[in-house]
């Protein structure tokens, strides 16, 4: 057993290039499918769906030996299979079962440690007992509501709040920017918050009619924070270039009127890594690529 490789970053399917660009090709020691291995301790990587801390290479003599050595490290393991799929699956079947049941929002994320492992070859496992994401390979599945929300954007907010471990609640005032047709407004209202929902386009009628929803037909960028007043949460899923969103976030942070902020950085064309680094550099910020994100990142700053 060795600890030569220090950190593994697993990209979401289809976003390997973004993670490679973020890490820099010169720093990548090896690539195993979507798993990129680098030397040194883990640094934040927004495009990583899951970070493998201090992964170990483990020599195994058989399927049973592989399962035994993984169980000796800890109980719960998630398989990332990029080769030798049948052999890997047979090892995983000998490990304690990890529930893959979809999460019912707003139940909290699992708290039990969950390691990740893969087969490098028939006789070598790469395993990390400690990972950054509590869900297997960073892929959270929810029990979906296929009737009430007007679109599937609500899943993105469900995931963000679940990973942050914080939820708006009764008595809190939320500002939802770029809200139409109302997926995020529906989430916030269902949690009991009062929602000021802002967009140039209207909300879906069934969302606009919900209690505690106040709709303002306006541009998110034309709002004056002083006129809106204090909010416990500011949310933005506005379609705009990251540089323009950064200006909006700066204005609200300078006003001191938004305690918690959760925003989507949407990229059009090439990924603007410089803009992503500006958001990541904001004090107290967290930048992440969610399982339900597309070519976008979710940025949060929680008080």
Catalytic residue among 68, 69, 156, 266: 266
Instruction: Name the region of 33 (left: φ>0; alpha: ψ -120 to 50; beta: rest).
Output: left
Tokens of 180: 């139409």
Q: Is 266 a catalytic residue?
A: yes
Give the Cα separation of 141 and 139 in Å (integer).
Answer: 6
Instruction: Name the region of 137 (left: φ>0; alpha: ψ -120 to 50; beta: rest).
Output: left
Tokens of 198: 């802002």
Helices (H) and strands (E) in the chain, counts: 9, 16
- CA-nearest of 263, 254, 259 to 288 is 263
Residue 244: count other Cβ atoms within 10 Å of its Cβ.
13
Q: Where are the alpha helices (DSSP H) in the chain?
A: 16-23, 63-73, 85-93, 154-164, 183-190, 205-208, 225-228, 242-255, 273-280
Residue 211 CB partners (closer than 8 Å, separation 6+): 189
Which strand ranges, in their side-by-side order, compose the sheet holding 28-32?
Answer: 28-32, 35-38, 7-11, 48-53, 130-131
The β-bridge relationship of strands 48-53 and 56-59 is: unpaired
Phi, psi of 72, rounded to the nearest 5 degrees: -70, -25
Q: Which residues are catalytic?
A: 266
């Amino acid at each position: 057993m060795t600890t030569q490789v220090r950190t593994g970053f697993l990209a979401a399917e289809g976003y390997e290039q973004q993670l490679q660009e973020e890490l820099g090709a010169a720093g990548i020691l090896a690539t195993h499918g979507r798993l990129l291995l680098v030397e040194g301790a883990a640094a934040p990587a927004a495009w990583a769906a899951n970070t493998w801390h201090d992964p170990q290479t483990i020599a195994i003599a058989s399927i049973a030996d592989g399962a035994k050595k993984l169980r000796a490290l800890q109980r719960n393991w998630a398989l990332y299979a990029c080769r030798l799929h049948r052999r890997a699956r047979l090892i995983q079947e000998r490990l304690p079962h990890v529930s893959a049941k979809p999460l019912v929002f707003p139940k909290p994320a699992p708290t039990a440690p969950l390691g990740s492992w893969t087969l490098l070859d028939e006789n070598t496992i790469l395993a990390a007992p400690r990972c950054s994401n509590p869900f297997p390979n960073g892929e959270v599945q929810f029990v979906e509501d296929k009737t009430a929300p007007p679109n599937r954007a609500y899943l993105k907010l469900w995931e963000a709040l679940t990973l942050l471990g914080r939820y708006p609640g009764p008595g809190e005032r939320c500002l939802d920017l770029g809200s139409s047709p109302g997926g995020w407004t529906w989430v916030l209202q269902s949690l009991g918050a009062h929602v000021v929902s802002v967009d140039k386009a209207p909300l879906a009628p069934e969302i606009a009619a919900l209690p505690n929803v106040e709709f303002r037909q306006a541009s998110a960028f034309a709002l004056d924070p002083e006129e809106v007043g204090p909010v416990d949460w500011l949310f933005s899923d506005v379609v705009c270039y990251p540089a323009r969103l950064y200006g909006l976030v700066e204005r609200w942070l300078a006003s001191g009127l938004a305690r918690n902020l959760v925003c989507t950085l949407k990229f059009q064309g090439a990924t603007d890594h410089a803009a992503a680094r500006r958001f990541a550099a904001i004090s107290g910020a967290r930048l992440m690529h969610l399982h339900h994100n597309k070519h976008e990142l979710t940025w949060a700053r929680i008080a």
